[in-house]
Structure 1
Amino acid sequence: MVSRRQFLSGAAVLATVTVAGCAGKDDGAGGGDGAVSFTYLRPTWGPATYTKDGPFEKALEKQGKADIDVQIIPVIDYDTKVNTILASGDIPDVIWGSGPSSATWKEAQDEGAFLPIDDYLEQYPALREAVPESIWKILKDENGDTYFIPNLIWPQVPFFLCYREDLFEKAGIEPPTTVDEFAPTVAKVKSAFPEQVPFTMGYEWSAKEIATSFGVSMFSWEPSPADPDLLIPWYMKEPEVDMYFWFQDLHKRGLLDPDYGVNKEPNFADDKFKAGKSVMVISHWSSIPDATTQLRSIDKNAKVGVVSPLGELGGNRLVFPVDRGFYVSGTMEDPDGFFRFLNWTLTDGSELRRWGIRDKTFTVSEDGKEPIPDNEREKAFQGPQLEPMGFLGPFSEKLDWDITKLAFEAAKIPDRFDYVKGKFDEYCAQDYPDYRDPTVRSAVEDKKGTQLYEDYLQKVAQSTIINHDVSRDDWRKAVDKWRAAGGDQIIDEINTAQKDKSKPSYIPR
């Protein structure tokens, strides 16, 4: 029997989206009513190098009949800065946020900061159909109203443990197969290639698939070993704490990049690997074509390999299929115009949204469209200039192997597509979800959860890996203080509110 938390299977899966029109069509969002103007605030996951009024922005505005005043904030700084914006009450017309699962955003939503959108979902079926109905249901408030437009992601987003296969072969090093083999392997890499960083990763979330090899779902609530009907948070799970001290040992021995925890740029590890300055990296599974292209501009023999999940437990830490999203301000002057524009991006504007501009971001041949690798594009058409102008992509596009295959062909490594897809399947053979329902609330957590975390847990959770003085006893004491100050009330309220504690699944079957 499918529980109320399980993902319903009505969504289209792995479908190749049919483009409703071409990028040259002129019947944009404004229709006969002229252009819509709106301000737009969003985070960027790449480098904050976006330049306003670039050619892609101009093409989007011309074809979509819109005037968009976009402001971007690096994702690492976004939550802090946007909280100030929310408190000021001077909210942009369209603003990215965490949605109603966050107490901050739910409070703003309840106070009338944002526009209810159910009427627009009925008016524009392409918008409603872009998001599975099961997700729309989760996003409704207690009165049955919807305010939040989710940014959808495929729940399986493995972060591969990548390595320079060519360098491993040169040094006669075999990739590790277990957690116990990992450190000795990295030590061999360090000895063989002393001028390069042996192993790097960007930030803690990068290690979510390593955590599965310890038998846990990183940063999640899971059943207590002592009581399967009691969900406990991640900082109370012993195997996850073990992983932190395992990383501390790597760092202590000089096997983990010394820039880890110091360099706050989330892409620094990927950039270092692509520049040939590191031998191993944890990276998003889809990064391999771009990484190979950039590496081969330095070394024509470069080859990116993927280490299989470490040990029998290794797998994929599933993610809830919503990664932020956006709200429309309750005081926006022309919400109708904005939703016409948004609908256009999902219909006649689909080609521009998905592919960009012909001969700038993709080419067309007898075999169809082919993306131009990012590093081969003019700077004005590279990812950092396109990402800030993104809005909503249908769930059916979130795992499209046909598009992915084209990326491998464009990178001139078509033979590696089946290899990488096979590694993806290996990682996803075992899944580790977060057992906590994202809509379940705790009054204590909403009121003082952030402060409790900062007062008691942050000092160990964010410094254990690079602060070698932090001990397991320090971690236990921090958790005990958190529990006594209100943590136990949060645990009790979450478990009382969430009746269904079965393992969730977000994969359409």
Structure 2
Amino acid sequence: MKVRKSKKVVLGSMVLMLAISSLVAACGNKSTTGNGASDGKEAPLDVSIMTILLTPSPAADDNKIKQEIEKATNSKMKIQWVSGNNYTDKLNVTLASGDIPDLITINDPFTPVFRNAVTQGAFWDLTPYIKDYPNLNSKVSKTAWDLTKMQDGKNYGIPRPRPAEADSFFIIRKDWLDNLGLKVPTTTDELYDVMKAFAEKDPDKNGKNDTTPLAAFMTPPADMGTLATIENSFTGANVKNDKWKLVDGKIVNTALLPETRKSIEYLTKMYKDKLLPEDFASLKLSQASDLFNGGKAGIIMDKAGTMNDHYELLKKIDPNMKPTDFYPLTNMNGYNPKGPGFSGMVSIPKSVPEAKMKRILKMVDTWMNDDVFAIQQYGIEGVDHTVKDGQKVINTEQLAKDNGPDFNQIVYVADPYASSTKVYFPKEANDLFMKIQDERAKTSVADISIGLYSPTAQKLLPEFEKKVQDLKTKIILGREPITAWDDFVTKAKADADLAKMSQEMTEAYQKRSSGAAK
């Protein structure tokens, strides 16, 4: 009897221990990734990511900054870095394949390819979930969330926040102005005089006739590049994407505006007077940047927050350069552009289970905490920065080598005052730039067409814009007379398809405006 009783006790004890073990295991393994966690904590999130690379070499898998971010966000990231030069092509191939990483950068949410993917149910509608993540609510502006809604009024990605003010606009060499005794231009007439002086009066004082006023480029088939900013200064419209302006409550294509004709005449005169690079129509963005960064051009179109990038390169040419030798213009003819508050977005495909999707949102939300975002902003103490008098002093060259800024293409926190200058520039320079930005905010104009959906425009607008740029370029180069533009506009005003585009864009604008007002 005693032996049999002992067996029952042993058996009962084993059952109880198994039950307890199962309970502990169930409580401890909360992972949605299939990874066990023996310490009672949630296992790291395995997440595949595809994003843009804007530097020559990507961060390795054992990159220290990456590892610190992973530790802080309880994740294990497998990142596919794709060069910005061919990212759109790679993205389109990836979307078409259906084999989409868990988190993917959508550099333009309004391409037909992404819109179609959304319509076919390929991505999570994040609208119902955003309220549960405090940083996604507070550190991504309402404007950015509104402007990235699809035509159904829902959000299929997290906008990558950027400052709305200090958007890409004229940045001028203030030291060149000072060398020639010129004031900062505020009108296109004053700008013309400055550019003419930059071309003819040796602004860099090297005794050579080797300077060009404007680092200009264009991107065929439909992007006027640098010249668009001059055109916008005439029309007062921010036409960074589709070329539209709100006029008397209706969305009108800017080609029909009389101010556009004036801007073409202005640009034609610029080219005739050799104020543009002779080969501007074939120059690429990188080549135009090289002109400015090589000390050969006095004006570039760029975001105020990029000034440190230009400064680091120009300082190698002229060690006496100061950060305040750059001057982001306040406005031109009372106009300057307001940014949309975002640059693309990151999206999660529906192939990701809901539980894992929520963990990815949590990862991004945690990544936006000040202490976590600081990892990529400042790098590793003692390696990428030192602390002096309580302030972090960054070794910019080492931080770039360690790929810190590359992680901004996945998760970013936007400082309203161009954080990339605040980190690197002294107080004197930042006080100046903050003052200019506050002035810009009084006159900045948003691109109201961002995100507006017109089925007709999706089909026909690219060809129309191609014709517009082609004719503008021919007139500027002197191959066609300005009367050719008059003939083009007359036909465009009678074009039923263009009228339908305007009507659909207007209806989409009114629908979004009424929704935002609720």
Q: Say whether the fold is shared (TM-score over 0.5).
A: yes
CA distance in 2, matches of 1:387, 1:476: 46
CA distance in 2, matches of 1:503, 1:115: 25
Consecutive unaligned residues of structure 1, counting only runs of 5 or more, are 1-28
CA distance in 1, matches of 2:399, 2:250: 54
CA distance in 2, matches of 1:342, 1:284: 25
- 2:306–2:421 Cα contact (<8 Å) kept: no
Q: For the structure 1 residues 206 and 392, does the alpha-carbon distance in structure 2 shift closer, same or farther, using more than 3 Å as the test?
A: farther
Give the match for residue 484 of structure 1: 495
Give the match for residue 76 of structure 2: 66
Shift of 1:325: 0.5
Indicate which of 310, 313, 317 corresponds to 2:337: 317
Percentage of matched positions with identical amino acids: 19
> Would you say 1:261 and 2:281 are equivalent positions?
yes
Give the match for residue 285 of structure 1: 304
Indicate which of 294, 298, 309 corresponds to 1:275: 294
Q: Please list the CA deviations of residues 32-61 of structure 1 after superposition, one character each: whole Å capped at 9, or x if unmatched.
A: 3433333322334x4454354444334434
Shift of 1:494: 2.2
Q: For the structure 1 residues 137 and 122, does the alpha-carbon distance in structure 2 shift closer, same or farther, using more than 3 Å as the test?
A: same
Shift of 1:62: 4.9
Give the match for residue 424 of structure 2: 407
- 2:271–2:477 Cα contact (<8 Å) kept: no
Taking structure 1 as the reference length, the TM-score comes to 0.76
Give the match for residue 201 of structure 1: 216
CA distance in 1, matches of 2:143, 2:433: 30
Q: Please list the CA deviations of residues 370-410 of structure 1 after superposition, one character each: whole Å capped at 9, or x if unmatched.
A: 444x3x4365235xx6325632334xx4314787444212x
CA distance in 1, matches of 2:145, 2:177: 47
Give the match for residue 51 of structure 2: 42
Shift of 1:418: 2.7
Indicate which of 436, 460, 466 corresponds to 2:471: 460
> Would you say 1:180 and 2:183 are equivalent positions?
no
- 1:208–1:317 Cα contact (<8 Å) kept: no
CA distance in 2, matches of 1:448, 1:254: 35
- 1:361–1:371 Cα contact (<8 Å) kept: yes
- 1:360–1:381 Cα contact (<8 Å) kept: no
- 2:151–2:452 Cα contact (<8 Å) kept: no
Q: For the structure 1 residues 475 and 38, does the alpha-carbon distance in structure 2 shift closer, same or farther, using more than 3 Å as the test?
A: farther
> Would you say 1:355 and 2:378 are equivalent positions?
yes
Give the match for residue 319 of structure 2: 300
1:321-400 pair list within 5 angstroms? 321-332=341-352, 334-347=356-369, 349-372=372-395, 374=396, 376-377=397-398, 379-381=400-402, 386-388=405-407, 390-394=409-413, 397-400=414-417
Q: For the structure 1 residues 221 and 255, does the alpha-carbon distance in structure 2 shift closer, same or farther, using more than 3 Å as the test?
A: same
2:213 aligned counterpart, secondary structure: coil
Indicate which of 244, 251, 257 corresponds to 1:221: 244
Shift of 1:151: 1.3
Q: Which moved more, 1:49-58 or 1:145-154?
A: 49-58
Q: Which moved more, 1:79-88 or 1:148-157?
A: 79-88
CA distance in 1, matches of 2:104, 2:365: 17
- 1:248–1:468 Cα contact (<8 Å) kept: yes
- Across the aligned residues of Structure 1 and Structure 2, the Cα RMSD in angstroms comes to 3.8
Letter matched to residue 454 of structure 2: S
Structure of greater relative contact order (alpha carbons < 8 Å, 6+ residues apart): 1
Shift of 1:342: 1.8
Q: For the structure 1 residues 158 and 211, does the alpha-carbon distance in structure 2 shift closer, same or farther, using more than 3 Å as the test?
A: farther
- 1:42–1:388 Cα contact (<8 Å) kept: no
- 1:214–1:240 Cα contact (<8 Å) kept: yes
1:163 aligned counterpart, secondary structure: strand
CA distance in 2, matches of 1:359, 1:465: 57
Between structure 1 and structure 2, the one with the greater Rg is 2
Letter matched to residue 319 of structure 2: K
> Would you say 1:247 and 2:267 are equivalent positions?
yes
Q: For the structure 1 residues 235 and 82, does the alpha-carbon distance in structure 2 shift closer, same or farther, using more than 3 Å as the test?
A: farther
> Would you say 1:419 and 2:441 are equivalent positions?
no
CA distance in 2, matches of 1:50, 1:289: 21
Size of the aligned set, in residue pairs, is 458
CA distance in 1, matches of 2:137, 2:274: 51
2:281 aligned counterpart, secondary structure: coil
Indicate which of 469, 484, 507 corresponds to 2:479: 469
Letter matched to residue 293 of structure 2: K
Shift of 1:163: 3.4
- 2:170–2:300 Cα contact (<8 Å) kept: yes
2:214 aligned counterpart, secondary structure: coil
CA distance in 2, matches of 1:503, 1:425: 29
Give the match for residue 462 of structure 2: 450
Shift of 1:66: 1.3
- 1:206–1:283 Cα contact (<8 Å) kept: no
- 1:164–1:280 Cα contact (<8 Å) kept: yes
Q: For the structure 1 residues 126 and 307, does the alpha-carbon distance in structure 2 shift closer, same or farther, using more than 3 Å as the test?
A: closer
- 1:164–1:302 Cα contact (<8 Å) kept: no
- 1:43–1:388 Cα contact (<8 Å) kept: no
Give the match for residue 495 of structure 1: 506
Indicate which of 129, 136, 143 corresponds to 1:127: 136
Q: For the structure 1 residues 379 and 124, does the alpha-carbon distance in structure 2 shift closer, same or farther, using more than 3 Å as the test?
A: closer
- 2:233–2:336 Cα contact (<8 Å) kept: no
1:214 aligned counterpart, secondary structure: helix
Q: Please list the CA deviations of residues 122-150 of structure 1 after superposition, one character each: whole Å capped at 9, or x if unmatched.
A: 55333344334565466556777542111
2:301 aligned counterpart, secondary structure: strand
CA distance in 2, matches of 1:189, 1:162: 14
